[in-house]
Amino acid sequence: MLSIQNLSQQLSGKTVLSELSFAMAPGEVLALLGPSGSGKTSLLRLIAGFDTPRVGEVHLHGQLASGPGRVLQPPQKRQLAVAFQDATLFPHLDAVENVALAIRNPDKAARLARARQALLDMGLADMQGRDVATLSGGEAQRVSLARALAADSRLLLLDEPFGNVDRLTRTDLVLRLKTQLAKGQGALIITHDPADALDLGARVLLLRQGRLVADASPAAIANGDCGDWARAFMQAGA
């Protein structure tokens, strides 16, 4: 589904990613962990096609999507759905319409029905006509996740999906997201919290200063299989 080969990136003359290589299979769930500034969001932007890599390649669904200094597939052609930490909802659309916007179906009634179901799956009901300006932070995040899950995509890219919610809301969202991902959709989830990887049962990619320092299960990293720093990072979030 996704293959990253020797990927490096610079921003304003500073190296933010260095020689990253990994692959994920269809339907797999990966948690991309690391402290602030480790390059997580830069990697997501390269996978999504928002930025151009300096070195290396991004392969999606068996095709070369980006290479050194070039984007071969624009974001809208990558069969991806992206949800950022700050729920980027369209203010002129209500909550249901925001979700329906991501659904490719010429039948408007079918789009709206699917959007309402996606919202229900994320714990929201009666959202028809709901002005997004009236949503709480947790509600807005649920709408953003529902939109990503409802989209006709083969891979989800979620950037800190639980970063702006309280602990109780996070617990509920993790369970709901895990239920949806169990249906077989692949996902790469960016987080700074090792507990997210543990709760989702995801394979972990751990970044430190732009380098991949671990690619293993949370348990293997916590047991020290990937070095002392990686173990300490995982144990700090346990």
Nearest to 148 by CA among 127, 121, 128: 121
The confidence band for 237, taking pLDDT boundaries of 50, 70 and 90, is low
135-158 confidence digits (pLDDT tens) = 988 888 899 999 999 997 889 999
83-131 confidence digits (pLDDT tens) = 887 778 999 999 999 999 999 889 999 999 999 999 999 999 888 888 8
More confident residue, 211 or 1: 211
Nearest to 177 by CA among 193, 194, 201, 209: 201
Determine the pLDDT at residue 227. Answer: 94
Determine the pLDDT at residue 1. Answer: 83
Strand 63-67 relative to strand 70-71: parallel, antiparallel, unpaired?
antiparallel
15-66 confidence digits (pLDDT tens) = 999 999 999 999 899 999 999 889 999 999 999 999 999 999 999 999 999 9
Work out the burial of residue 2: count CB atoms within 10 Å of its CB; fewer than 13 is exposed, 13-18 middle, 19 or more buried: buried
Fold (topology level) of 1-79+154-161+185-238 = Rossmann fold (3.40.50)
Nearest to 147 by CA among 121, 125, 108, 179: 121
- Round to whole Å and give the CA distance between 126 and 104: 22
Query: Per-residue DSSP letters for 12-56?
Result: TTEEEEEEEEEEE-TT-EEEEE--TTSSHHHHHHHHHTSS--SEE
* Average per-residue pLDDT for the chain: 91
CB-based contact 1:187 (threshold 8 Å)? no
The structure's pTM equals 0.89
Q: Where are the domains of the chain?
A: 1-79+154-161+185-238, 80-153
